[in-house]
Amino acid sequence: MSSDPAGVCARLTRFDYMQRNSSDGEELLQLLAGVLIRLDRVDGYDDLVKRVSAAGETVVPVLREIIEQDTGEPHRRRICDGASRALDAVRDTAEAASGQSSTS
């Protein structure tokens, strides 16, 4: 399911812990986005990328972390590409929203 199974497992473990012990919805969303963006081998991966980007500014740190940790390993290329696409989509949405608010 993932070219980064250790990353998926680490975030799921943290997500489970946070879900039981915290009410920090923003951090839970970031952890979930970190899992979803790493599921690069599932059918419908492009839809997962869109869903992650739909979470908005909250997931930007997660996406930046993935991009910054890119070591050029071929098996992780799709994950980095997905993170880059999602980050671009978040930025595009934010720019469009700020353009609309300045014309209102």
Give residue-wise pLDDT tens across range 9-19. Answer: 888 888 888 77
Number of independent structural domains in the chain: 1
More confident residue, 18 or 79: 79
Q: Considering the chain, what is the average pLDDT of its residues?
A: 89
Report yes or no on whether pTM surpasses 0.75.
Answer: yes
Average pLDDT of span 12-39: 85
Cα distance between residue 38 and residue 66, in whole Å: 9
Average pLDDT of span 19-35: 84
Average pLDDT of span 73-93: 95
What residues make up the domain containing 19? 5-103
